[in-house]
Structure 1
Amino acid sequence: MPSAIITFLSFSHLLAFGINYFILDDIKNKKRINYLLVPLILLFGVIVGSYFTYLDVVVMYIFFLILSLKNAEERNVVSSLLIVSSACVIELVASQVTKPLLYFFIEKQSILFFFIFLLFYYGLLILSCGLYKKWGLPLIRRKKKVNLTAYLLTISLIVYFSYFTIAAYASNVYLKIFVAVFYLIFAFLGGVIIQSISSNQDLKIEAEKRQLEYNIHQRYIEDLKNQYQGIREFRHDYVNLLTSIEYYIENDEFEALKTFFKTSVQKTKNLAGTDILHADELNKIDSLDIKSILTMKLLAAQEKNLNVQIEADEGIRLNQKVDSVLLIRILGILLDNAIEEVETIEGGKLLIGIFSVKGDTIFVIENTARQKIEPMQVLKQKGFSTKGEGRGLGLSNIDELTAMEPNILLETIISEQRFIQKVIVIGEEG
């Protein structure tokens, strides 16, 4: 058997680990520097593997975990731990499944069988990672088993690699002791660091949530003050109008009254009958958080002179178990995207509906869309915006946000120049 093939097979597990991590952590949609860092980590793993069996995977595991945390924008350390551990476990399982085929190739020593083995092995890896990313990870997040799964996988990997590494160096007492001490220190320090980082991140996220709530409430209070001031000004103008009308009537100046009515009074008819911020509809919602974010976005649309319609059922009550900050962020992103789209279309409309159906609350955000709207996979890319690269959130992190809250579902419909987003908040009995 050619030595090049033997060398490749000796380190193929590292390449497999790297491919799995590349897929599961969605590296292609992140910083371009990752395209250089991942190969460098693979190269470093190969160098370590040339001297210490099994330690190559451990070293790569540590570097991939650091890289995942570096790339993460909203993910905590345990989520990164889950992704890296899953990538490693999938590689181990795929290696065991394809081992009979590998033995068959070694026996035949055929280049043709070698390529068949590679196709099957890496095809199995890519398929497994794709299915796990599409179904496995979202299920774990919906069931809120991220911490449990991440810790179980990590502990299993530590036990697995420590056992086989110690067995590999059983004949050398000093190396055996070194490996055992290494894994003990690695497990202890790793656990302490991960727990510390995770706790700090949880505190930071909680602080950010509270700050976001405070900012939204302050903005809502300010909006209410502005509305009240507007009402006071209108009342003042209304008194002046009545005074002027009274003057014209008392002096029998009906022609002047007719002119005054057409130029000054009639235009107030539309103003008086217009609910600029749709207060009647918003008052049907009992959640101050939701009313706040809707008010903010309606003001933004009003400033852009957009055509906005809103309709809500009476007595909208949200499931109290739902993370209101997550829901605010989801609605905020969807409304920003809708406003951005309608702004570019002549005669565009934004329709907002809030309905209660069998205990569930459904938010429908429908906007006019361009004739050639991008595919969903493009819209979900990080930084995508119709106004230029890096200017918008698109739908990039909507899936991640909805996955964090099992009581929130999202349905997207693109049809006949309409873009419809349905956010379903499952009721407490749902």
Structure 2
Amino acid sequence: MISLTFVMLVNVIPLWFIFISYFYNFYTALNLSFKAWKVWLVAGIFCLSDFAWIYLFGSFELEKISFILIILLIVSPIIWKKSEESFFKVVSICLLLTGLHLSFTILSDVVSTQVVAMTGIGMEGYTKSSLLFVSIITYLVQLIMCLLLNLFLRSNRGRRTVKHLFQTPGVSWLTFISAILMTVILIGYFFNYYNFLLGKTGLAFFLLAVYVFFGLVFGLSLGILSYIRLYQDKLKAAEALLIQQQSYNRVLEDIQQDVRHFQHDYKNILSSFYLQLKEGRVEEAQVLLEEKFLSFDQNVSYNIKQMSFLNNIKPMEIKSLLLTKMLQMEQKNIKFQVEVMDSISEFHIETEDLVRCLGILLDNAMEEETLTEEKTVHFVAYQDDSTVTIMIKNHLQEEKKIAEITQEGYSTKGDNRGIGLSSYQKILTKYPNVLNKTVVSDNQFQQVLKMQIS
């Protein structure tokens, strides 16, 4: 007779590694930074607690159920407190990942059962060596599946999938409800789990079939909603492109209008210029030249140069944002100087988050410049081998402390009106590859974003 102690010894080390991969997947899905030793320690405590449950109560049936309950009642609140994400999103991710990992358990059992059937191991009763062999096969399959899941979550496609599942309106609720239903089914299945392994299918087999059915329904529903969302995103992209083209057309129309005015006046200007030179009024001719010819050349060259710099930014959303802010500042008589020295196709941060960050910085700069005499905002972006750098600089009406500016609720318009820079800081905490720096000196405020190229 194989003792319970031997079963625990056979399972403790590989199960520890599975718990480690489990928590790695949690942190990866939520974009949380973590220290490896803490994950290993928590996984070890979790693993020992799991076996303590079996040893104290002698119940393999309740072991998987206790695992699910600990995830919901202990792990979810802890991760939620650290992640600053909504509790709804954290619980949804915990439920879905728990379901996936328990599904890996089912898959590994199916594989190990097939291996036993093909090799004949355990046909005459399990020995310690045969049980060890089956355990190795079972946990090896689980580890491979966990590692594949982690690689997927780390990829750009995986990040987009997590964002789509847990943040898209409609889809997030479908994910949450499906995760709850599938978790309830899993609780029922694992309550009869070991009876199923011993060949007593009955209710466990039925629940497994229902679980697979709900999984297929969830996948189909998700596919339909994703298609609808994709169509909506295409419409938004088309609208953004239209706005961008309208902005371009407006700038080109301004240039064309300047040229027309100059064409209309240039004969009279040349006549006046010629007469002044002929009469020896050189200083007056010089003033006329600067006022008419040089100012025209500067205005047209400036607009053309701005369009050329904007063309170096390839993501349409960022380009549209800059064009929109350029027009807004023009209406407020603020000069928006854009310098993009290199062609930049990727900023190594989610486009939506970068748009929010730049929108906050440019709005703050525009608000502050309305109070100053200079009325100029600078936007500079360039790329080298390892980083993409963005700098936004504006003037300050008065010297301010950095700690004061980044507090939630700070605003030059009054108390509790501003949440911009504090939100900006929170967004950047999700990206360990992004460094931000704030410099206040000589009545100038400068924000620097450095995005490491992975």
TM-score using structure 2 length: 0.49
Q: Distance in 1 between matches of 2:273 and 2:419?
A: 52
Shift of 1:271: 2.6
Q: Distance in 2 between matches of 1:197 and 1:80?
A: 21
Q: Distance in 1 between matches of 2:328 and 2:449?
A: 21
Shift of 1:141: 5.4
Q: Distance in 2 between matches of 1:148 and 1:367?
A: 38
Deviation sequence 1:16-67 (CA, Å, 0-9, x none): 3662575477467xxxxxxxxx8xxxxxxxxxxxxxxxxxxxxxxxxx4xxx
1:85 aligns with 2:96: yes
**Greater CA deviation, 317-326 or 333-342?**
317-326
1:145 aligns with 2:172: no
Give the number of the structure whose alpha-carbon radius of gyration is greater: 2
Amino acid at match of 1:372: K
Decide whether the 8 Å contact of 1:213 with 1:325 is kept in 2: no
1:336 aligns with 2:363: yes
Deviation sequence 1:338-390 (CA, Å, 0-9, x none): 323433455465322233423865332233456034569756x9xx9765878
Correspondence for 2:130: none
Decide whether the 8 Å contact of 1:158 with 1:187 is kept in 2: no
Shift of 1:232: 1.8
Amino acid at match of 1:280: K
Count of equivalent residues:
312
Shift of 1:209: 2.2
Correspondence for 2:30: none
1:371 aligns with 2:395: no
In percent, how many aligned pairs have the same letter? 18
Deviation sequence 1:158-187 (CA, Å, 0-9, x none): 7853433446999xx998798667645543
Decide whether the 8 Å contact of 2:334 with 2:375 is kept in 1: yes
Correspondence for 1:56: none
1:355 aligns with 2:370: no
Q: Distance in 2 between matches of 1:240 and 1:340?
A: 42
Correspondence for 1:419: 446
Deviation sequence 1:232-272 (CA, Å, 0-9, x none): 2133233332234456678x696xx977986x765446633
Decide whether the 8 Å contact of 2:377 with 2:393 is kept in 1: yes
Q: Distance in 2 between matches of 1:146 and 1:249?
A: 69
Q: Distance in 1 between matches of 2:289 and 2:304?
A: 24
> Are residues 291 and 180 of structure 1, via their aligned partners in 2, closer, same or farther at CA, if it must alter by over 3 Å?
closer
Amino acid at match of 2:344: L
> Are residues 203 and 81 of structure 1, via their aligned partners in 2, closer, same or farther at CA, if it must alter by over 3 Å?
farther
Q: Distance in 2 between matches of 1:27 and 1:228?
A: 50
Q: Once superposed, what is the RMSD of the aligned Cα atoms?
A: 5.6
- SS, match of residue 298 in structure 2: coil
Q: Quick one: which of 188, 196, 201 aligns to 2:229? A: 201
Q: Distance in 1 between matches of 2:347 and 2:448?
A: 22
Amino acid at match of 1:145: G
Q: How does 1:20-419 map to 2 (within 5 A)?
A: 20=78, 22-23=80-81, 26=84, 64=88, 68=89, 81-82=92-93, 85=96, 140=153, 143-146=156-159, 160-166=186-192, 183=211, 186-246=214-274, 267-268=291-292, 271-272=295-296, 274-275=298-299, 277-280=302-305, 282-283=307-308, 285-287=311-313, 289=316, 293-306=321-334, 308-313=336-341, 316-319=342-345, 329=355, 333=359, 334-345=361-372, 347=374, 349-358=376-385, 361-368=388-395, 371-373=400-402, 378=407, 396=423, 410-417=434-441, 418-419=445-446
Decide whether the 8 Å contact of 2:392 with 2:448 is kept in 1: yes
Decide whether the 8 Å contact of 2:336 with 2:377 is kept in 1: yes
- SS, match of residue 283 in structure 1: helix
**Greater CA deviation, 201-210 or 222-231?**
201-210
- SS, match of residue 335 in structure 1: helix
Decide whether the 8 Å contact of 2:277 with 2:285 is kept in 1: no
Decide whether the 8 Å contact of 1:297 with 1:332 is kept in 2: no
Q: Distance in 2 between matches of 1:392 and 1:235?
A: 49
Deviation sequence 1:407-428 (CA, Å, 0-9, x none): xx643211225331325484xx
What residue ranges of structure 2 are gaps of 5+ in the alignment? Answer: 1-65, 102-148, 166-174
What residue ranges of structure 1 are gaps of 5+ in the alignment? Answer: 1-8, 29-37, 39-63, 69-78, 91-135
- SS, match of residue 249 in structure 2: helix
Q: Distance in 2 between matches of 1:204 and 1:164?
A: 40
1:19 aligns with 2:45: no
Amino acid at match of 2:379: I
Q: Distance in 2 between matches of 1:275 and 1:137?
A: 54
Shift of 1:324: 11
Q: Distance in 2 between matches of 1:81 and 1:182?
A: 20
- SS, match of residue 231 in structure 2: helix
> Are residues 356 and 26 of structure 1, via their aligned partners in 2, closer, same or farther at CA, if it must alter by over 3 Å?
closer
TM-score using structure 1 length: 0.51
Shift of 1:219: 1.6
